[in-house]
Amino acid sequence: MKRLDEVKICAAAVVFALCGVLAYAQDLTSHPSISVVASTIPENGDVNPYGLAQIPVSKGVLVEGDFLVSNFNNSANLQGTGTTIVQIAPDGSSSLFAQIDPNHLPGPCAGGVGLSTALGVLKTGWVIVGSLPTSDGTAATAKAGCLLVLDSYGNVVETFVGALINGPWDMAITDYGSTANLFVSNVLNGTVAGGGNVVYGGTVTRLTLIIPEGHMPALLSVTVIGAKFAERTDPAALVIGPTGLGVSGNGRVLYVADSLNNRIAAIENPENRKTSGGIGETVTEGGSLNDPLGLTVAADGNILTVDGDDGYLVATTPEGKEIGKRLLDDTGNPPGNGALFGLATASGGKLYYVDDVSNTLNLFQ
């Protein structure tokens, strides 16, 4: 395995410090605790929380340290029809940040609104969320969607659309204040036409933004930096393809949860490359990975993923060594199936995650 990044791994006989999150190599179930922070269901009844992002700055109604959660389903539990973003404080208090009306958008968004895991908050207070909408909750009606830009009061002010934005599924951000890069996984390139068969059209695009002081972000360019990822429609999950994204601390590597191939991929030089890195270099595959969906990279460089098929959190070094796992959700049939998506690390060795089965924001520490 080629070394991708420098990382410090602190290990004791049993206990490992993984990305600031304590994990236990021999018995992950015995020590770290899991607690419910709050429900993610707003007054309109939207369910299936997908995206999770911590707020970096207080502005408008945004409070630094709070979390935003996007809902993918409406109150009838139809996928790709959720329109709400909920704001939740670490103490569990919550409020509605935004309820987006698909009939009153400031720009095009093919198919309407169905808020995906692609969610982030910029240092300037702008919120960006992906939409992968359906009209009836089925993959047959899924449309390309868009990225929606909201101000710090929850108002949609613009949309980012185009041929290279097609089913935005997850997002990672490198943010420099006056500029930012959005890395977005796209899962609808030929997927619906494939009718459940695996196609190889999944992409990762880089959207480069300029953010003039006092003005909303402007899109400078869109570049495909990853391509030919496996993807297909699925009756239960709507669509399966490249999902979670995370950037290493030095910005040199973008990690991709390649769900269908049960692997973590790495695309080098994501901020500056001008050509596609294809499906990237394999960091690890198999092992405890079981349809990896959510992904985050924390302070010491290790990679945390959550499995879509069994409810486990898995910790992996940049060299591809699995160094811990922990069951986060064992409900459902089979246990943990379809429960986990959005992840966010916080100070003090805390990991926050959304649970789609219980419709809650949870804390693992």
Q: For residue 283, give every residue at least 6 positions away whose Cβ sits within 8 Å of its Cβ, in sequence order, or none.
A: 1, 4, 255, 263, 264, 265, 266, 303, 316, 318, 319, 320
Residue 114 sits in a domain whose CATH number is 2.120.10.30
Tell me how far apart the alpha carbons of residues 12 and 25 are, in angstroms, rounded to a whole number: 10
Per-residue pLDDT at 334: 82
| Assigned domain for 239 exists | yes
Q: Which domain holds residue 167?
A: 10-364
Q: What is the DSSP string of 260-298?
A: TTTEEEEEESTTT--S--TT-EEEEESTT-SSEEEEEE-
Per-residue pLDDT at 347: 81
Number of domains making up the chain: 1
| pTM of the complete model | 0.92
Per-residue pLDDT at 15: 29
* CB-CB contact of 292 with 336 (8 Å): no
According to DSSP H, which parts of the chain are helical?
none
Establish how many alpha carbons lie within 13 A of residue 110's alpha carbon, considering only the half-sphere containing its beta carbon: 15
Q: Tens digits of per-residue pLDDT, 245-283?
A: 999 999 999 999 999 999 999 999 999 999 999 999 999
The yes-or-no verdict on residue 5 having pLDDT over 70 is: no
| Assigned domain for 39 exists | yes
Per-residue pLDDT at 333: 78
Give the pLDDT band (50/70/90) at residue 353. very high
Distances (CA, A) of 172 to 161, 260, 356: 18, 20, 20
| Assigned domain for 2 exists | no
Stated length of the chain: 365
Q: Tens digits of per-residue pLDDT, 136-191?
A: 999 999 999 999 999 999 999 999 999 999 999 999 999 999 999 999 999 999 99
Percentage with pLDDT > 90 across the chain: 85
| Assigned domain for 180 exists | yes
| Assigned domain for 5 exists | no
Tell me how far apart the alpha carbons of residues 293 and 10 are, in angstroms, rounded to a whole number: 26
Per-residue pLDDT at 300: 84
Tell me how far apart the alpha carbons of residues 264 and 246 are, in angstroms, rounded to a whole number: 11
| Assigned domain for 3 exists | no
Tell me how far apart the alpha carbons of residues 88 and 79 are, in angstroms, rounded to a whole number: 22
* CB-CB contact of 70 with 133 (8 Å): no
Q: With 0-12 CB in 10 A as exposed, 13-18 as middle and 19+ as buried, what is 286? A: exposed
* CB-CB contact of 109 with 171 (8 Å): no
For 111-136, what is the mean pLDDT? 98
- Return the structure tokens found at 210: 């300029």
Average pLDDT, the chain: 91
- Return the structure tokens found at 259: 């769900």
Tell me how far apart the alpha carbons of residues 248 and 239 are, in angstroms, rounded to a whole number: 27
The yes-or-no verdict on residue 9 having pLDDT over 50 is: no
| Assigned domain for 308 exists | yes
H helices then E strands: how many in the chain?
A: 0, 28
| Assigned domain for 1 exists | no
